[in-house]
Each structure stands twice: as structure tokens, then as C-alpha cells.
Structure 1
């Protein structure tokens, strides 16, 4: 692994995380830790049905509970004009159901009581007369002419169709396929999965009846966006809303959107005049908060007989659940899926995506990926392995033959994306060298002769992160740019205010390192403020690995503004022209006379003093900036997974995993490695065990961690990490972002390894998760569909 100089006090390098001082000692402050005077507690009644008409709701018994202060229904909200709220995809979603329920777990009523347990007890006293309706939980059947119409609340909606979207040149692609020597096709499912963060969702709303100001403590990855949406939903003046996101126990995209529970805590505080807390339990969280994936894909590859990939053609059916609540940029209803061309140099590509409603909870969250790129990478990497299977080619050699070459960058894909920089062959070769690839293939051959099943999976991925630019990307009309504010106090201590919200990535450390690297300040002297709309500049939040590519760039630029201003102050202190000064390490010094210089700390004190500055130059060292990225950044990586499969049970053991990542310039290698470790574990879970399944009545079959399995240290090997460094040419510090890369690249590497192991059984493809039952079924000609538990 490439080593990085350790600089524990300033600049880039392995610095211990500042936030861990409180977090590992149990001193974090989470939403459920918030205690306000007179605080009440809320609980939601949820539908047991996936699709049913609501004939009546009787709340009298709940209202008679001695500790209940209010019971709110959809009819109550209708009278307040709050029955429906906008989603992040310009759809609308019921806050509390009025006409009917459209998925199991949908919110029906909200109880406010003196304590949490009384609220929960009172929920059970509400009587609802449901009239069950036909259910469609299969995205393919949702498009049938006789399928029940889920969104009959929308004028003119006569079926379950949401959108059609396409990318690439269909005619050009069809021509390439018509002349190709080899064409392979495969139906591939990326099943519905759940981010399952450690902390569930919750909020504490406090509406001050005197000032009219709402303070909301909430589990939000995007506090400023939430504030704007609440202003739109509740009709409150935006400057009278303060959203505070304290410490968050993981988000992974799950806490980007707004949930009815958040809105109901606000309504509850308005109705009662007291603070109201709502925190969901694990079953509620798994059943009703945003899911991800659920893509039914058909992929086709056109190639020559010697393995040159010519074209890629894809059709996708996207299951968005009962409400289209996907957190996607407005222009991209299918997210960034049209990066489905992957890391390969193609002649043509074309893709179509159709979105449909089903009787499932709203899905489509950017779960640890940049807006559907995980699905796109999984598709293309499985298809490359399918091609290798048909050609009897080595999967690594086939990839090496087709990778985009270093001299082709910046590279414009056949779907219009411009990859900024990269050396793909170098990364793949490094992964193969670390793995001892040739030796592994020899070992595999020897084991197959003995009847043992060993598999080697190869995957190469290109991520697209850092949404904006805002001229192309917005959510609800809000452009994806981010602000940063930096203030250097007279004693040289600094406060940086950023618009992204950390949920475990180490922002308080890495952003302080960026400032320290630019100004020569010790990171211990730099506080990073985030997650409070009254204390931070506007921005669209943390998801899609936006933090370093966008807000990190804003941080570097605002620090450079301070440095440039400090140069003028230093020139006055040293009585020389600013042009006679040069920056060296942590000070402005006179060119040719390094003994004459001033540090940022000295300059900060002078900037606040009676020092006479040039006319028109203000004192103090404060600056603000808004960064609108000129392009996305494109981290990439090469992964190799080695598994052993038990012939009798289909059980899979991940023996080795080699991950080579290129995320551009690394700010803190230790944090990068931690992010990669987490993403790799995530990928193992999705590949082998994670799935939210439904039965034919739309019943959710994964409402606990007994049913929705997560990987542990027992399922994960000791990760073997490598790196290459290809700086982004347009990012101020050359960084590309890494928070989600491993989750993008690892599922396909694991699946490719398992299918490589059972290749002797004639298995070309099987869908995730590759549970022992699924693997055994594939080996014995009994494939199972993992997303629907329907006989």
C-alpha cells in the first residue's frame, strides 16, 4: 500500500479523528438524547394492510386515555391543509392516509401523550375500519392492464406508470448489435435493500408560540433542504425555522428525505404548544423508511469473438413503491444510472428506464451510492462476466482489454458523461498483483480437480460523485452548490462552518485538515460547525459522496480567500508590497529574505488591531464562498474477491478481498481506509444476505434483524487495501471522494466470485442475495426469486 507522510498537526495525513473523543466514550448527542421542558411524545399508527380503503377511524378510546393530549388523523390534517407533502421527486405523499393506505406500514394516525409508553399504548386503542383492496407487489405485474391503480388520488392516473427515461443513441446502438459477432443477454435483479443505519429516524419539534419560531432537532442528512421543504409544507416563514441535526448514527442515504413522522412532530407541537418528540422503533424503520435498489434489468452486450466489447443495451423496470420519493436530481428521474457504460471504451450504448408504482413503501433512496450508480455498475460488471462465460475468457483479461486508457482522459462516455481522470489498467494490475491472480487461478484449477468449489470474482467500477453542477442538478429547484464560512479569531483559532452534515465520515477532522493544509494552522485549533441551519451556510446536504468533492472544495477555496487577505495584512505589517511576499508552509515571508515573515496567527492578531491597512482593505480574517462544481468527480477501483462454496449446503465463505481504490488526493488515509472497510462489509451483506422481500399480499418480510440479515465480522475477511492516486484536474485539492465507492464495487465482485465457484454446474447467473438456499438452488437447477416470497 502506498504510504502517506504522517502530519498529525497540520495538513493531510493520518490524524486521529477529533470527533471520536466524544463518540467512542458515549458522549455523543443524538436526537433521542434531546430533553426539553414540558416535552411530549408522539407515536404513529401504521397500516397492517398493503392496500386498503379506509372506511372510518375511531379515536375515542385513545383520546380517553388519561395521559393522551391529542390524536391527529388525516382528516385533521386535511382541515389544516397539511394532508399531503411534496417528495424530492415532485410527487406528493400522504402525511397521514385519508382515502386509503397504499403500503404496509403507512402512517394513519398520530398520538401525542405525556410519555413514550403511553403514546404507544394509546395507538393500540385506535379502531380503523379497513376494506382490503387488490395488491400488486411485483413491479412487472404492476404494468399489467388489470393491475390495481395505486395512485388513484392523482388526476388522470389510470395505471401505475411513473416515467419513461432514456439515454444514449438507440439507432447507433442497434446498428452495432446488428453487426456484432457475439451478443449475450441476461435478466438481472438488484433486489430491494435497506440502509439500516444504527440509529433510526426521529425528531423533536419545538414551536415557540411567542416568537413563532420552530426549532426542529432531527435525523437529517440535509438540514437546509429540510428547512425549505417544511416551509413549503407547513406554510411557516423559512427564517422562522431552525433545523438542528445533532450526531447521527449513520444515514447511508436513508436520512435524506422527509418522513411523515418528522412532519407530525411539527404539527403536534403546533397543536399542543409544547415540544413533541417522535422516534421510531426498528420494525417501523425497516418497514416504512426509504429503501434502495429494486431494479429489474435486462442487459445485452455486443462484442467481437476475441472479446472486444462494442456496445451495451439495457432496459430497466424501476420499482419506486407507492409514492415516488426518490432523492434524485430533477433532470435525472432514474438517477445517474446512465453511467451504466462503466469503465469501458464502447462504440455505442443505449438505456431505457421505466418507473412504476407498487404497494411497497416509497423507495429509491441513494443508499451509499450516487443516485443509482451501484445498480449500473452491478449490471455492467455482471454482463462482462456473462460475456467472459460465453467466450470462455478470463474475466480479468477481458476487462483489461476493454478498459478506458489513461491517454483517453478526459473521456466522454456514449451517454454524455465526462470522466475527469484515471489510469484504469494500473489499478486493475495492482489488484491482480496484490491478489497473486495467476497463482489463485492455479489453486482454483487444482481444487476443482478435487471437487472443491473456489471462486475468484473481479470487478472494476467508476463512480460519479459530487452533485452539482447546479445548472444541471437540483432537487425541488434547489441547486446543488455548497457554501463555507471561515473565521480566524485574533488569537489564531479558527471556526469553519460547512453546509454538509456528517453522519460518521469524519468531517470535523478532514475539513479541519483542509483548512490546516491551506493556512498552516494546527487542526486542533480549528472547529468545524455543521448540522445547524442557524449556524451554517445553505447547502443541499450529505449524500452521493458530495462532502469532499463539493463542500471540501468550498473549504479549500474559502481558506485561500483568507490566505490572500492575510497577504495584504502581512504586507502592511512588514512594510512591503504584497507582490514581494511568498507563501511558505504556514507563513507569508519576504521573497529572498525568509527571516522576515508572519504566520497566520500573527496576522490574525494584527488584522484585529489598530494596524493601518491599505485603503479599501477591511480588517479581520473572515471569508465566505459558494462552490458550484464544474463537473462531477470520478473515483474508481478494481476489486478481487475469493470465496469458497460448500458443495452440500451452498454456504459461501469470503476468504479474501482485495480492494484498490483511486479517490484522487487523500486527505486522511486512515479515514479513507475506514470508509472502504465499511463499504466492503456493506457489499458482502448485499451480495449474500440482505433483501427486503414481500409476499403476494404485500406483507413486508424483513421488519427485524432476525429477518433482515446484516454482515458481521464473522462474514467479512481481513480486507487487503491498495491505492492509486489520480488527482481530479478540476477539484481545488484534487480529491474525488470515497465514501460510497466500496459499496458500489463490492457486491458485483462477491457475486462474480460465487458464480465463478459454481461455474462447473453450468450456472451463468443467479440473483442476489446469494444465500445458501439460492446458491444450492442454482447448483441444482432450481433458481429462486429472492425479492418475492410467492410460491
Structure 2
């Protein structure tokens, strides 16, 4: 995949007092510091870890979606000469580990005791000499099931006759999880009552899977002598895992060490704690040896956290001239057998209430109902910030539905309704305050790159010849950077991040982070932030992460929070180091701190630039014989815990061009233009890489990715033969541009970019497909827009929503 030369535009400054020279934009296209080990095949992945005497674990999974467990006979498995232990739910009950809290404060079974609630649920765990023997021994475990009726359709989950899935919960008589709403229902209804035009549509965002390159796994090493547990994990949140293990297992937190090495993709899939992790720990305790568990691809697709699975009834009220007045929606959220969503406590549906989008409205209201079904627990923040992807998809589909009703160009309709730059900070109608934005230049740039008027002329000419060409537009505002502790937490843990910066006597620096990389280039990006603040070359800065014994506490990496939260922490810690360096430099130069000027990497005496000290000289002086001022110790270091005052709100404009084969229904994405605004851009190359990956994600979800189930609850997407993901053959050369609107409250003005493209691209693709099929009277299609579905839509027989 390639990109055209990016086209920048200078957007209005969000903070007039902040000049472009003041904004720490790093050292530009610095090559990634991580890449030398990766391109040499020296990455440190979970399955690379081999400890002395290590044993291997395997999980026995239920073949049924809903069944009561009558008995489990492990006799033959235990008799296997290479098997060391077979662990069942009954064994875990004796350790008070059979059930554990989820990130949504629900409880989930580690190993099923009473019944299984989804196909692939964990039933038993075998520990053996090698992975092959462990897998073989699974066949020797005899489980007798009493099959129960499965509940697969979220629409029917609340029917009076539906089987109760969570009968383990006291007093439970139905499959209801929660009801949640945001906005003003009465005010919204009043606006709808006087609107000239009202459009409505049921919009389904089907269940999809992050499908990371590396599956989930753990190596547990419990030392019975000192009672210390070392756990190597594929986790995006090492510190949160450590705290939860301490809460559940009763091991003192200071005796738990979580190590996350190089992770081959996470995308939200590796936020939660999976039963395999806990079973590996128990296996190590029981056998006295290290135990490794690594799932295979089918296990990952069938049983680890899914995403989306929202059924949304959307409505838009507008004037005949195209002014959008209000939006509202009722949502049914399928959370699977356990509510395991990684959502802030106050927001059980995440940030779905940002479904108001980028538009200036009079009123809005959303209500979300969560239900249990006999599917694997879902609701991870798959490359999106807590349900923002679903919210943006809904509003951007509904704007296109309105455009069709008004016979108005969808790009012009959006331009007519954008929040204006002078309205920021903008309080939307569901309780969020957008920090900064200037939407029209971003939309105009996308239209300019695409040659939008020419595209519409080309489309008209092709339609006259019977060719099917579609142009899809989307504009998104995302909310990332969770989050301010006054508003949000996960299971009682505030969503702040810590950072430490230490400059050694020789002027080299170490940065310690609480966030965990999964390929985003943290070792480069955070080194650049410190380099900008202190003037130390990035190659002289080491970034340490992924080890709870060596890094400060934080809630981890998800919801595109690395730069908005940890980036802020690192910048502030570096500034504290710089303040300390000023005091030391003043002592070294025998002057007052206020008489010094700072230029990148050096303090000098005001009025005499020739007299100064570099940061390297100051670092050595700090540890030397210089008489330090009162209150300054002998280290050039600082630690910060950053509590962001608000979320950040990146945005972007996307235009997709597709061609549809009228004979087969196959969709080809011919062009895709993406213009993003993530505030301050630290490393343009890394930003572009994040955008390219997210765009591929979005094309995959729009056209091919889908986890389906049959009536018995059998997962129909358990391999890459069934769950299709995009390759280089399915995506075009991306055409990208950018605008820059810094966040006024973030220390370096950065907003985050990791998930923007995944948020904005699916509606652009689907809008393009629907636009291509307009001659057939098609006004809506649900994802994925597979050839079969597109062909059936052209025949007037659209596939029913899933």
C-alpha cells in the first residue's frame, strides 16, 4: 500500500497563545527504534519464552452453546504418562477461583461448573510435558452435557419464553443486563414533532473480531519459596491485570510481576483477563513448575472478546433545506454470555452517546439496552474508543439516508451542518465537551484530493452506460484519551497514567511508561516527546514498558489513549526535569534560575548566549560536586501521574469510491481518500502507518468480516477460511492528507490517531456501496457488503439483518 503525498492545511489555532514554534512536534519522520529487532526476527513474543522445566497447558472447550454439565470424568486424562494435572471448575472452587470479576464488574466463569453458556467456553485445563500431549489428553476427558435451548438472537433474548442464561445470578429471571440513556428525551421528542422531515432506519453493526497476528497466551511461574508470581502475558494492560489478580487470587500485589513483551497486535482483544491466563497460574501453583498456555487461531476467533454486535434504530429530524435538528436512537447491545466489556463504569455503553457526530444539533437522545446471549463475551474496544465506532457508523449512515430523502449531495449536507470553529469548546447534546475543531477545511481538503465534482460527473456518465459506481462520504469526530478520574474508572481503578523520566550523568535518558505497545511505535514516539522537551537526541533515550516491576502504574493501552494520556504524562515529567535542570544550571553558572533562557537542549544567561550549559553538562553537574540549591536532590529525574482534564476529540473526512460488478455483486474499492486531524503530529510516518492499518480494518469490516452463528449457537467464523480479513489485494493505494487543530488542554496538543481510521472508514465504504446501488432503489445495506448480499439487494431481496 502506498500513499499520495500528504497535503497539510493550517487550521485555526485552538489556543491563540500557543504558536507553532511552541508546539512540540518532535523530530519528524524518525525511523522506528523498534524495527531493527523486528526485521531481524528478534522480536520478544510470548511463545518465544522458554523457562527451565516449563510445562504446557491446553483448554478443553464446550462444543455446545448452552448445556448443563452433568459430570466431568478426568480419570483417563490423569492416567496419561505425560500429564501432570487436570484442573476443573470444581478444583477452582476450592481456591475461590471458579468465578472472577470482569472489567464491567460482572462475574464470569474461569472454568464452567454449573453449565456452559457459549460454544468454546472453557471446561477443563490440562498440564502436560508438551503442548501435543496436553492437546491429546483433552480427548480423554469425558464430559456429559444436558443440552439446553440456546439464545442467539439478541432481539429474542428478552422474550418471556427465552431461556435464562445467567441463572447463576441470584434472582435472575431474564437476560437483561442494563438500560442506559443520554441526552434529553422530552426535548428531542419536541424537536421531532415540529420537524419538516424525519427519516429512520434500522442499522446493524455485526459482530466482528480483532484477529490479532499473535493470539492470546501466558507463561506463569509461581515460586513457592518467596510466594512471588511472575506472569508473562499478551496483555495491553499489565498494571490493571496485576491488581485484578491480587484481588481475585489473594496473592499480595507486590509479589505479582506482569511482563508483556512484544505483542503482535492487540486492537482491544488483549485488554481483559482470559480464563487461560488464570488456569496457567493455577497450573504453576499446582505443579510447582512454569506453565505456558497459548491458544490457537480457532480458539482466538471463537472464544476471546469480540466487538460491535449492536442493533440500532436511528432517526434524524431536519428542515426541508437540510438543517439537521435532532437525532435519536434505541440500541440493543448483544454482550454475549458474560458482560466483559472494558467500559468506564459510568458508561455501560461506552461513549456511544457521541452518536451526535460532528453536527450542531438542537437535541439528541439515545437509549441502550444490554442483553445476554449464548455467544462468547463481546464488547471489546476493537480499534475504537468504547463504542464510538458504532456511534459514528450510525450517524453517518443516517446522514446519507437523510441526503437521499432530500435529494441533496451528502458532502454538501455535511458541510451545511458542521459545528463551527468559533463554537468550540462545544458541549454536545449528550454531555460531552468537544475540545477543538475546524471541520470544513478538513472536508474541503478531502473533496479536493478526490476531485469530488469530477467524480460525480464520472458517476453520472457510467450510470448512463449501466455501470455501477458509488461515492461514499463520511465525517467523524472521535472521543479518545480515557480519561479524567472525576468521570471514569474501570472496576474502581482510575484511568490515569504514570511516567518517569531520568537523565543519567552522561546525559542519556530513560523513560518508563505505564502503557503497553502492540506495534504502535511507542519506543519511538515517547522518545521523541522527551527529545523535544529536553533536547536529548531520540537515539539517546530508552523507553521502558511492559514490566510492572519497572514501570509506574497505569490503566494500559486501549481506546487510543497512549498519546493523549501517557504522552501528556511524559511531556509533563520531562518539563519537571527541565525545571530541575534550570535550578542546577543556575548554580553551575552562579546566577539566578529566572536569569536563564532555554533553547532546545541548553540553558544560557539572558543577554549572553555564549554563557550556558547543555542538558548533558547539567546532568553530570547534578551528580557532581556542584553545590545544589535547596530542594534539589542529586538526580535529574521526575515522575508524573497525569489526570487529563478532558478527553480529546480527533476528527476526519473520508471519501470512498467503489465499483460494483452487476453480474456477481463483487465490490472493488477503487479509491479511498482520508484526511485526518489528530492535533499535534509527533511522527508523521507513524501517524500514516496507524491510518493505513485502520483503513484496511474498515474495508474488511465493511465488505467481508463477520462472526455469525447458526440456530444452535455454533460459531461460523472459527477460522480464516470462514472469517475473512483483507489483504493487499482488497485495498487500494490510500490517498491521505491532514489538518492540524491542537487540543487546547493537552500538554503537547496531541489528540491521538490509533483508531480514527477504523472509526471513519466503514461508513464511507458502506455509503459508497449504497450509492452505487441507488439505481436499484437500495437505500440501506448492513455490513458486511459481501457479493451475495449486494447481488440480492440488486434483485430486491436484501439479506435480513443478522
Q: TM-score, normalised to structure 2's length?
A: 0.97
Q: For 1:724, what is the secondary structure of its paired residue? A: strand
DSSP 3-state at the match of 1:749:
helix
Count residues in correspondence.
785
| Partner of residue 180, structure 1 | 195
| Residue number in structure 2 paired with 1:517 | 532
Q: Contact between 1:205 and 1:277, CA under 8 Å: does it hold in 2?
A: yes
Within 1, Cα distance between the matches of 2:27 and 2:374?
49
Q: Which residue of 1 aligns with 2:366?
A: 351
Q: How does 1:302-701 map to 2 (within 5 A)?
A: 302-701=317-716
SS in structure 1 of the partner of residue 356 of structure 2: coil
Residue pairs, 1:725-764, within 5 angstroms: 725-764=740-779
Deviation at 1:232, TM superposition (A): 1.1
2:784 aligned counterpart, secondary structure: coil
Corresponding residue for 1:220?
235
2:128 and 2:147 map into 1 onto residues whose CA distance is 30
Q: Which residue does 2:169 correspond to in 1?
A: 154
Does structure 2 conserve the Cα–Cα contact (< 8 Å) formed by 1:83 and 1:95? Answer: yes
Aligned match of 1:259 in 271, 274, 278?
274
Please state if 1:76 is matched with 2:91: yes
Deviations 1:675-727 (A, max 9, x none): 00000000000000000000000000000000000000100000000000000
Q: Aligned pair 1:722/2:764, yes or no? A: no
Matched, 1:231 2:276: no
Partner of 1:128: 143
Q: Which residue is 2:295 aligned to?
A: 280
Q: Is the Cα–Cα contact under 8 Å of residues 588 and 599 in structure 1 kept in the other structure?
A: yes
What whole-Å deviation, never above 9, does each CA across 1:646-700 have from its counterpart, x for those lacking one?
A: 0011100000000000000000000000000000000000000000000000000
1:45 is matched with which residue?
Answer: 60
Structure 2: how far apart are the matches of 1:394 and 1:33? 54
Contact 1:10/1:516 (CA < 8 Å) preserved in 2? Answer: no
Counterpart for residue 13 of structure 2:
none
Structure 1's 363 and 78: CA in aligned 2 closer, same or farther, altered over 3 A? same
Contact 2:26 2:683 in 1 (8 A): no
**Per-residue deviation, 1:781:** 1.2
**Displacement, 1:11?**
3.1
Residue 10 of structure 1 contacts residue 521 of structure 1 at CA under 8 Å; is this kept in 2? no
Shift of 1:3: 6.4
Q: Deviations over 1:463-495 (max 9, x none)?
A: 000001011110010000000001100000100
Q: State the alpha-carbon separation in 1 of the partners of residues 316 and 471 from structure 2.
A: 22
Residue from 192, 197, 222 that aligns with 2:207? 192
CA deviation digits over 1:229-273, x for unaligned, max 9?
Answer: 111111110000000001000000000000000000000011111
Secondary structure class of the residue paired with 1:191? strand
The aligned counterpart of 1:773 is 788
**Which residue among 1, 7, 26 is the counterpart of 2:41?**
26
Counterparts of 2:674 and 2:425 in 1: how far apart (Å)? Answer: 24
Q: Is the Cα contact below 8 Å between 2:204 and 2:801 reproduced in 1?
A: no
Does the 8 A contact of 1:10 with 1:520 survive in 2?
Answer: no
How far the C-alpha of 1:10 sits from its partner, in A, is: 10
2: CA distance, partners of 1:571 / 1:355? 61
> 1:10, 1:620 → 2: CA distance?
27
Residues 581-633 of structure 1: CA deviation (Å, up to 9, x unaligned): 01012100111100001111000000000111123321220110000000000
- 2:129 is matched with 114
Aligned to 1:58: 73
In structure 1, distance between residues paired with 2:328 and 2:200: 9
Contact 1:10 1:523 in 2 (8 A): no
Secondary structure of the structure 1 residue equivalent to 2:572: helix
In the TM superposition, what is the alpha-carbon distance from 1:782 to its structure 2 partner?
Answer: 1.1
CA distance, structure 2, for counterparts of residue 322 and residue 354 of structure 1:
15
The answer to whether the Cα contact below 8 Å between 2:8 and 2:737 also exists between their aligned partners in 1 is no
Conserved 8 A contact 1:769-1:786: no
Deviation at 1:12, TM superposition (A): 3.0
| Mapped partners of 1:466, 1:109: distance in 2 | 38
Contact 1:691 1:786 in 2 (8 A): no
1:779 is displaced (CA, Å) by 1.1
Consecutive unaligned residues in structure 2, runs of 5 or more: 1-5, 10-19
The question of 1:90 aligning with 2:68 is answered no
1:537-595 deviations in Å (ceiling 9; x for gaps):
00000000000000000000000000000001000111111111010121001111000
Please state whether the residue corresponding to 1:204 is helix, strand or coil: strand
Moved over 2 A (4+): 1-6, 9-12
Distance 1:73 1:786 in 2: 39
CA deviations 1:445-464 (Å, max 9, x no partner) are: 00000000000000000000
> Retained in 1: the 8 A contact 2:26–2:528?
yes
Aligned partner of residue 207 in structure 2, secondary structure: coil
**Partner SS state of residue 682, structure 1:** helix
Equivalent pair of 1:202/1:279 in contact (CA under 8 Å): yes
Please, what TM-score do these two structures have when normalized by structure 1?
0.98
CA-CA distance at 1:2 after TM superposition: 4.0
Over aligned residues, Cα RMSD in angstroms? 1.2
Which stretches in structure 1 are left out of the alignment for 5+ residues? none
3-state SS, counterpart of residue 340 of structure 1:
helix
Cα distance between partner residues in 1 of 2:160 and 2:104: 25
Do residues 244 (structure 1) and 264 (structure 2) align? no
Matches within 5 A, 1:279-298: 279-298=294-313
Q: Deviations over 1:408-453 (max 9, x none)?
A: 1110000010000010011000100110000000000000000000
